[in-house]
Amino acid sequence: MSSMQLRTLTFAVSMVVAGAGVAQEAGGRTRFILAASWQPAFCQTNQKKAECASQTGERPDATNFSLHGLWPMRQDYCGVSAEQKAADKDGDWNKLPEVTLAAETKTALAKAMPGTQSGLERHEWVKHGTCTKMSADDYFGVGMHLVGALNASAVRDLFATNIGKPVKAEAIKAAFDKSFGPGAGDRVKMSCRRAGNVRMISELTIGLSEAAGAASAKTTGLADLIQGAGKTSFGCDEGVVDAAGF
């Protein structure tokens, strides 16, 4: 083989490898969203809600992310009656049917999702859980497992050590990359809300792959689910990590 042919072959191989890498990166697709709330910020503008009136600095949600929900993309209210859908949209979620859960799941969910005090789990099941193939126990079990992994990461540590201070998007994305692999921060969106003159970080929504929609995700690493999702814009670029209390 001549040197020219060898160079041509080497170039062709390198282009195939590069193309495969691009295809793999582009192939990720977000199928589920993990919504993790920073409860103190939520409570600043929802002070009358039961979970906000009862919040203290010692409660876990004062320094950890709380489970808001696990949302299938572009699906909601699957097999739900028009009456239940209307009741859900009215916002008085305690009027929705009680979600049947094992005692152990119910106890754990009350800690991971303070909004259960206002019937949030009923809303999440009716609107989102019904569009998965999971039982209610598995659906909430997956959500709790994933938010638990988030709370065991550098992301939660960043928030907990900066309570009362502003944090920039770059720092949050770097914390995601540190805990969940390069590029993980590109699969996260941050939401902020204003309380007076202060812009507070209220929620992170994290893109996940199709595998998040199975009961087996209760033992799947959050990093794997994030890496299988597509990229998104980050949203809010800076906000204060609010402390519990009004």
- The answer as to whether 49 is a domain residue is yes
Count up the domains in the chain and report the number. Answer: 1
Main-chain phi, psi angles of 14, to 5 degrees: -65, -35
Q: Are the beta carbons of 229 and 187 closer than 8 angstroms?
A: yes
For residue 5, tell me if it sits in a domain: no
Q: Is 246 part of any domain? A: no
Residue 58 domain-assigned? yes
Q: What is the CATH number of the domain that holds 157?
A: 3.90.730.10
Residue 12: other Cβ atoms inside 10 A: 10
**Confidence class for position 57, pLDDT limits 50, 70, 90:** very high
Q: Is residue 4 situated within a structural domain?
A: no
Please tell me which residue, 39 or 3, carries the higher pLDDT value.
39
149 in Cβ contact with 208 (< 8 Å): no
CA distance 137 to 68: 16
Instruction: Give CA–CA dist 43/98, Å, rounded.
Output: 24
Given a cut of 60, whether residue 134 has pLDDT beyond it is yes
Q: Which residues pair with 192 in a beta bridge?
A: 201
Query: From CA 26, how far away is CA 100, in angstroms rounded?
Result: 39
C-alpha to C-alpha distance for 190 and 10, rounded to whole angstroms: 43
User: Could you tell me if residue 176 is inside a domain?
Assistant: yes
Q: Which residue has the higher pLDDT, 16 or 123?
A: 123
Is the confidence at residue 145, as pLDDT, over 60? yes
**Does 85 fall in a domain?**
yes
Determine, yes or no, domain membership for 15: no
Whether residue 144 has pLDDT greater than 60? yes
Say what angle helices 136-151 and 120-127 make with each other, to 10 degrees: 110
pLDDT tens by residue, 186-225: 999 999 999 999 999 999 999 999 999 999 999 999 999 9
Q: Which domain holds residue 60?
A: 29-240
